[in-house]
Structure 1
Amino acid sequence: MSEIELKFILDEPTSSEFWARVKASKLANGRPRTKTLRSIYLDTPEHALKKAGIALRLRRDGRRWIQTVKTGAELHGGLSQVGEVENFAPGGRLCLEAIPDASVRDEVLQCVNGAPLQPVCETMIKRSTTELALEDGTRAELAADVGEVRAGKRSAELREVEIELIEGNPGGLFDIAHVLFPDGGLRFSRLSKAARGYLLADEGRIDTPLAPRNAQVVVLDPTQIAEHAARDMLRECLDQIATNVVVVRKLDDPEGPHQLRIGLRRLRSVFSVYAPVLKSPEMARLKDEARWLGQEVGSLRDLDVVANDIVQREAKIHQDETGLTALSYALSRQAKEVRERLRELLAQTRVQAFLIDLARFVETRGWLVPQDFGQTARLATPVAELAGQALSKLWKRVGKRAGGLETLDTEQRHELRKELKKLRYAVEFFAPLYPSKRVDPFLKRLKKLQTVFGDLNDAATVRAMLSGTDAPGTGDPVAQRAIGWVIGASQARAEFGWTGAKTLWRNLEETRPFWK
């Protein structure tokens, strides 16, 4: 049996209002039923089942004990898909031989291999459930779990909502989420209860530490079809974006906005690269939403860069220029105000709708267009073939923009910088398809050239930010001197780097394109 459910973390204020919204939605059939569930998760001393991706559970539901084995768990964008096999366990006694599915039983027995099974953790949950129904016939069970996870003497509170598909279209789970959580601030649940229990037992917590999430390598297989590779890349982008939305809301770490903007840019890059096979109205809409959110995040990121990197760098080098330190503080105060406004935005409906719709797009093949009869064949294109075509196209566009490099004006340099960034993201996404000894020289030279264009962009950002009428220190001679210093230093740095741009471009141009 396959279990498909959408999982969210439920915060305390939302919890108190949750069932009122369920009633108002008119999706529920009757009042919620409440019961207490005790679940015990078991494993060998070496955690052989966990290593094999298996969860073994004994659950007391009222007077009954049920033995459950979960396998093949996948949790992306809050959507959990897992194989589940259950049988009654009279008296709460574990019996592996009673597992009704022979293949699952054999797998568990092989993993355990005669080792003793012992409790790792348990949950005590007060669960309130009701059935929901949509007009298209989709039926789902809604469960709100409030309780705690325990492991030895450790315990931690858990509040979670699960929307489990009973019948119909999995996309309906996301429709339900829109209805039940209209106000924003929702968080996807990224760990199963079993995973939280193991984490509590091992590390004393039930979630991974909240920290800025960098982009991660997506493992690709040259034999994969383009659709499956796109799904894996989009999952990675969604995870980076959704995690860093929470980071920006909860932490002051300037790396949060930086990684959030990168995630949004990488998402748009995937959309562009896969446009020939995924092109759909929904993809175009999501791309526009990502661009909008990226611009909102960019305002804070630019302030952080100027205040924390550029101005502080000059202040440390030239400590006798006291105006530089004062300017850095003034910009930091301005960044704090922008950060608070961004936090309010990230907790609102539009951003939440974007995340839910992006998760739906990725996990329910939202790119399918019934009227596009040639789409199936395009989706089945080998990813290696698509990668070669995409990289060649991007490389050609870079070459066209780089023509007459030394004569490019400011706008042309900016356009070339954007094309180099698109190429960089595509190279990083597709790199696992090629030998690293071929990819690395190209990527190394590409990054060096990008650094030059990054300095140019920083200089333009500094000039725009500190030359406006709302720049900090207007009317203060000391502050104006510091502003002039920073603008001049950043401009000099950029122009010095630009003198070597032609050589760096020639080095890159002479590097064999690894995809050919």
Structure 2
Amino acid sequence: MPKEIELKLSLPRSCIKYLQHLPLLETLGISRPTKQKLYTIYFDTPDLALKRQNCALRLRQMGKNWLQTIKTEGSVASGLHERNEWEVSVPSNQLDFTQLGDPGMIKLLSSAELRKQLRQVFITRFTRHMYLLQTEEGSQIEFCFDHGKIIIDHTKESFTEIELELKSGKPTQLFRLALTLVQILPFPLRLENISKAERGYMLYTGHKNPPVKALPVELKADMDLTTAFTLIAQNCLDQLTRNEHGVITRIDAEYLHQMRIALRRLRTAFDVFASAIPNEVSLIHELKWLTHHLNPARDWDVFVTEQLPKIQQNFEDHTGIAALIKTCEILRKKHNKAARNSIKSKRYTKLILQLNLYLEEAFKYPGQPKTLKKAVTNMTLINFTKSVLINCHKHIIDTMNKVEEFDLTSLHSLRISIKKQRYTVEFFQALFAPVEVKKYIHSLSELQDILGTISDSINTQRLLKEIPVSKTKTLVSREAVGIILGWNKQQLQRMNTEIKDALQLFYHTSLFWEAC
């Protein structure tokens, strides 16, 4: 079955000429570069029957020739696209239903009624500069940079991107070449998780991809530890990168929230498997860097979009509250811009590429050494999981014993431990009875929500101090600050009562791993 493996990177349009004279392309090139004008028609039914089946059907004109292509469901992870693909030459710009290589498409298009409904949904027009490269390791990679437009009626959307398609060798070479490009090019590159077809459909429907939440990890009891770690880490990395576009385009604050959750999950994965896999200090350091740069934006999002509106509902006529909200919105935008700049930076792109390269090289490839630390060499996945869960549960209980006096430092430590345990349980939940796992997660969630509210209240006090003095020096503005602090104090008092009930629930929740 033909499979297309490629890595996509987006770049500023102004950099096209620079790429055309890039010495690396001449150094690694093994054939003369080519330039093509490409015109592509994408087909679907009015209700997008093909898209719902994760299929793309297109006709592409290259000079005087037409090529019919079918791409079916594959995977996209951190810019690496893997899909099944069938291509065949056709005599004109008419679909040929006798030339369908995919059995699924043959069945889908066997209906004469559906074939009649097929129509052009969008087109792309772009220029492609193409080079065939050979790496020192011997892999052959087709390097293309495309610049053009997606067109639907009178609506157009420009794009400029690099495609690195693997012709022979290992996908690790795609990541290595991309890292080289990021390091030598004087402008930023960004891994692109959205294909031209997906962009065309989004333009056609007017719908953006929603924020991506954590998906279940498909683990099996007979898996080795390194395979389990790879699946978990890739799952976290997918969630992180699939929310990038929403943050950069400022669609919804939820995208940033999901990126931060993905970061915490990924850091938890490294922590959970620290006793099993070699330490990756540099990667963990960079994950902490990214977390540090996204946190302020999320704190201001919560303060401005969740907390201040609740206060304003009770003080609608207070001019100081309204003025303070406007000031806070300005500060929120400032921190969101800083978060976007971090995601668009070279450092971020290098981090994502290095994470993927690490997972590919260390664990994925047959024949590659799967290094485990001695302490867990002969440990099964289920026993390893139980050991991790028991240790973290004990740490939570020990920390709970210090919370009686509502000590904020202990509460913060408790919140971190509970998050770690929840993410760990969610990683491994496929190995245990679902009903009992769900009860345990529920008890963790109750505690996490209450501790999250406490954390938000503590952040409120800190964020108020970040407001310029010039904005809080009048009597009415000082009064507004006082109202917020008073409301905040009430929140903390209410949480003091609720947390005791949640702690009791957790104490009495059965430990699902003991049944195995």
2:349 is matched with: 352
Alignment partners' CA distance in 1, 2:302 and 2:419: 18
2:302 is matched with: 305
**Is residue 509 of structure 1 aligned with residue 512 of structure 2?**
no
The 3 A distance-change label for structure 1 pair 227 and 296 is same
The 3 A distance-change label for structure 1 pair 336 and 394 is same
2:193 is matched with: 190
Alignment partners' CA distance in 1, 2:251 and 2:96: 50
Alignment partners' CA distance in 1, 2:272 and 2:226: 12
- Residue 136 of structure 1 deviates from its aligned partner by 3.1
Task: Output the amino acid matched with 1:136.
Answer: E
Long gaps (5+) in structure 1: none
Aligned residues: 505
Alignment partners' CA distance in 2, 1:308 and 1:231: 36
Q: For residues 106-505 of structure 1, what are the structure 2 equivalents within 5 Å? A: 108-113=105-110, 115=112, 117=115, 118=118, 120=120, 123-149=124-150, 157-181=158-182, 182-183=185-186, 185-196=188-199, 203-204=204-205, 209=208, 213-223=211-221, 225=223, 226-251=225-250, 253-277=252-276, 279-282=277-280, 284-319=281-316, 321-362=318-359, 365=362, 373-374=371-372, 386-407=384-405, 409-467=407-465, 473=471, 475-505=473-503
Alignment partners' CA distance in 2, 1:113 and 1:184: 48
Over the aligned positions, Cα root-mean-square deviation in angstroms equals 4.0
Alignment partners' CA distance in 1, 2:244 and 2:45: 37
Alignment partners' CA distance in 1, 2:305 and 2:415: 23
> Do the aligned partners of 2:193 and 2:241 also contact (CA within 8 Å) in 1?
no
Task: Output the amino acid matched with 1:5.
Answer: E
Long gaps (5+) in structure 2: none
Task: Output the amino acid matched with 1:163.
Answer: L
Alignment partners' CA distance in 2, 1:224 and 1:471: 61
Q: Which string of whole-angstrom CA distances, capped at 9 and with x for unpartnered residues, describes residues 73-120 of structure 1?
A: 222211122334445545678667677xxxx66555444446475565
- Residue 46 of structure 1 deviates from its aligned partner by 8.7
Q: Which string of whole-angstrom CA distances, capped at 9 and with x for unpartnered residues, describes residues 121-145 of structure 1?
A: 5544432101233333333111122
The 3 A distance-change label for structure 1 pair 347 and 380 is farther
Alignment partners' CA distance in 1, 2:63 and 2:278: 48
Task: Specify the SS of the correspondent of 1:215.
Answer: coil
Task: Output the amino acid matched with 1:130.
Answer: Y
> Do the aligned partners of 1:184 and 1:348 also contact (CA within 8 Å) in 2?
no
Task: Specify the SS of the correspondent of 1:499.
Answer: helix
Task: Output the amino acid matched with 1:287.
Answer: I
The 3 A distance-change label for structure 1 pair 90 and 467 is closer
TM-score when normalising by structure 2: 0.81
Task: Among all aligned residue pairs of Structure 1 and Structure 2, give the percentage whose two residues are the same amino acid.
Answer: 27
Task: Specify the SS of the correspondent of 1:405.
Answer: coil
Task: Specify the SS of the correspondent of 1:217.
Answer: coil
TM-score when normalising by structure 1: 0.81
Alignment partners' CA distance in 2, 1:49 and 1:377: 50
Task: Output the amino acid matched with 1:247.
Answer: G
Q: Which string of whole-angstrom CA distances, capped at 9 and with x for unpartnered residues, describes residues 447-488 of structure 1?
A: 222233223322322333335796664544443333333234
Task: Specify the SS of the correspondent of 1:398.
Answer: helix
The 3 A distance-change label for structure 1 pair 270 and 461 is same
Task: Specify the SS of the correspondent of 2:136.
Answer: coil
Task: Output the amino acid matched with 1:186.
Answer: L
- Residue 42 of structure 1 deviates from its aligned partner by 5.9
Task: Output the amino acid matched with 2:404.
Answer: E
Task: Specify the SS of the correspondent of 1:128.
Answer: strand
- Residue 295 of structure 1 deviates from its aligned partner by 1.3
- Residue 397 of structure 1 deviates from its aligned partner by 1.7
> Do the aligned partners of 2:217 and 2:428 also contact (CA within 8 Å) in 1?
no
Task: Specify the SS of the correspondent of 2:170.
Answer: coil
Q: Which string of whole-angstrom CA distances, capped at 9 and with x for unpartnered residues, describes residues 246-299 of structure 1?
A: 33333174434333322211221222233344x2344x3222212111111112
